């Protein structure tokens, strides 16, 4: 597996990471824990060194899963987790909380759940408008000095927040949605990251599964699946957005690859400091995703993809309005 550095931070990770959220949360009933531990360990065997989790996934159980799975390999891998929400005693999310004292509480709790003595990359999960970002960055800076955290990250933050945070504590990476079906980061965020030397970690690089080509307007989701409330996933919009899958399929056929592999290879080819973190609960998909690392897209291929994609207008908002309000601040 090839390696990449996330911007100027010095943090080196596999060119493709593994998003672990879906192993406990968001996409229907959680799979068997033992199977997910085996899957995570198989990812390590295949060369993945970068694993993404958060206290909010579950909540809490995903960090415990990741911690248990990776304990035997801890010295050789990088774990990213997140802070920024508060929960009721019964585990329901009840709002945002990036107050300095809460960040410290989360760091200590995450360290225990992850069975480690240091968090490699600690993201603010979403910008908290009630707490100045300078206070957030300053708190993580203190945690770095104390040896509890190695690197500071932001998730779904906008350019203003990124600049203000980076001035207090260098931001190693921004994690935000980015793929062939969500390209808004290209407008302002990616140029800013390049200017400041910050790595980019795209989540949902396969469009929450849509870019695999395995979802169409007839697909039904479990009642607990997050995609049921996503406007882009209404049957009408899925049907309209099939044009994007058809385009990926044509490119994939020429490359003897799958649509998912082309979508990931396209992302990897955008910048040398971009590290996608596709999630999966299936070994077959894990192996398929990792196969994208070896697909070389020429400048001609990339031009062809961009030209074809520019003619396709993706239908539907990527989030319900209330969730979209938390992003890009």
SS3 readout for 118-153: CEEEEEECCCCCCCCHHHHHHHHHHHHHCCCEEEEE
Q: Tokens at residue 134, please?
A: 């300078």
Judged by DSSP in three states, 298 sits in: coil
**Residue 57 annotated in active site:** yes
The answer to whether 269 and 306 are in contact (CB under 8 A) is: no
The answer to whether 248 and 180 are in contact (CB under 8 A) is: yes
CA–CA distance, 200 with 154 (Å, rounded to integer): 10
Task: Point out the catalytic residue in the list 57, 123, 178, 319.
Answer: 57
The answer for residues whose C-beta is within 8 angstroms of residue 200's C-beta and 6 or more apart is 6, 173, 174, 176, 178, 185, 189, 190, 193, 271, 273, 274, 275
Catalytic residues: 57
């Amino acid at each position: 597996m090839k390696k990449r550095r996330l911007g100027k931070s010095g943090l080196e990770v596999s060119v493709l990471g593994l998003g672990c959220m879906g192993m406990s949360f968001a996409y229907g009933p959680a799979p068997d824990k033992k199977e997910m531990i085996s899957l995570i360990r198989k990812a390590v065997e295949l060369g993945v060194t970068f694993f993404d989790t958060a206290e909010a996934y579950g909540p809490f159980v995903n960090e415990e899963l990741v911690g248990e799975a990776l304990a035997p390999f801890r010295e050789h891998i990088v774990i990213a987790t997140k802070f920024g929400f508060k929960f009721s005693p019964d585990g329901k999310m009840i709002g945002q909380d990036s107050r300095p004292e809460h960040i410290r509480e989360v760091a200590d709790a995450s360290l225990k759940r992850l069975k480690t003595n240091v968090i490699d990359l600690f993201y603010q999960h979403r910008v908290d408008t009630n707490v100045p970002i300078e206070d957030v960055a300053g708190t993580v800076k203190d945690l770095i000095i104390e040896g509890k955290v190695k690197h500071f990250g932001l998730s779904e933050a906008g350019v203003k927040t990124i600049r203000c945070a980076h001035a207090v504590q260098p931001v190693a990476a921004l994690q935000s949605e980015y793929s062939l079906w969500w390209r808004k980061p290209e407008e302002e965020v990616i140029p800013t990251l390049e200017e400041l030397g910050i790595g980019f970690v795209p989540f949902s690089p396969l469009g929450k599964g849509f870019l695999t080509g395995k979802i169409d307007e007839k697909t039904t989701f479990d009642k607990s699946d997050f995609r049921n409330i996503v406007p882009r996933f209404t049957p009408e919009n899925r049907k309209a957005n099939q044009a994007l899958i058809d385009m990926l399929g044509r490119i994939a056929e020429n490359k003897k690859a799958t649509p998912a592999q082309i979508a990931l290879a396209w992302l990897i080819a955008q910048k040398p400091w971009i590290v996608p973190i596709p999630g999966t609960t299936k070994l077959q998909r894990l192996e398929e995703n990792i196969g994208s690392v070896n697909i070389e897209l020429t400048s001609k291929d990339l031009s062809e993809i961009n030209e074809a994609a520019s003619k396709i207008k993706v239908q539907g908002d990527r989030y319900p309005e209330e969730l979209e309000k938390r992003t890009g601040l």
